[in-house]
Structure 1
Amino acid sequence: MKQTKLLNKYLDLPIRFKILLWFIPLLLATIAITGWYSYYTAKNQVLDKINLAQQEYTNQISNQLDFISNDALDFTNYLFLLSSVQQFLNPITQEDSLYRRQQINEIVSSLLVNQRDIQSLVLYGYNEEVPPLAINQTGLTSTMPFSKFKETQHYQLAIEQKGKPSWTLLTGNEDLFEGDHGTKIILTRVIKNSYTLDDLGVIIIGINEKTLRRKYTEGLSNNGQMFIVNKDNKVITSTDPIWIDKDIDQVPYIHRTATNAISLTNNNWMIAQSEAQNGWKVILGQPRKELLEELNTIKIWTFLLSAICSVIGVWFSWYVASIITKPLHKLTKSMYKVQEGDFNQRVEFRGKDEVGELGKGYDMMVQRISRLIDDVYRSRLSQKEAELKSLQAQINPHFLYNTLDTMFWMAQKKDDKDIADMIYSLSQIFRLSLSDGKEFVTIGNELSLIENYLTLQKSRFFHKFEFEIQASEAVQDIYIPKLLIQPLVENAVIHGIESLDEDGFIYIHVIRESNNLLIHVMDNGNGIPKEKLHHLNEYLQTENLDENTNFNPENRPGYAIMNIIERLKIKYGNRADMVIDSDPGVGTKVKIRIPLSTPKQDSNELE
Structure 2
Amino acid sequence: MLASERKSIPLRRTAKLRIPIFGKLVIAFMLVIIPMYTISLYLNQWGAASVRDEITKSMKGRVHFYIQSLVVEFERIQRLQWDFINDRDLQKLSVTSEIMSDNERTQAIIRLQERLALVKNSSNYIASFNAYIPTLGKVINSQNNYDSADQAYLQTLIDESGRIHPIVQSWRDRLFITQKYPDIGYPDSLTFFLNEEISKKAIRQELQQFSNIQGEQAILFGTDFNWSITNDDHADLIEHIRQVAKRLVKGDTVTAMDTIDFEGTPYLLTLEHEPSFDMTLVMYMPVKNALGPIAKYNLWLWVLSLTSFIIVLFFSYWIYRVIHKPLEQLVRTFRKVEKGQLDVRLNPTTRDEFEYLYSQFNSMIGRVNVLIEEVYEQQIRSQRSELKQLQAQINPHFLYNTFFILNRMVKVEDYPKLKPFTKHLGNYFKFITRDASDEVALREELAFAQSYLEIQKIRFEDRIQIDIEPLPARYADLLVPRLTLQPIIENCYKYGLEDVVSGGQLHISFKHAGGLLTVVIEDNGKGMSEEDMSALNRKLSHSQAQLETTGMINVHKRLQLMYGKDSGIRVTTGETLGGLKVELYIPVKEES
Q: TM-score, normalised by structure 1?
A: 0.37
Over alpha carbons, which structure has the higher Rg? Answer: 1
Using CA pairs under 8 Å that are at least 6 residues apart, name the structure with larger relative contact order, 1 or 2.
Answer: 2
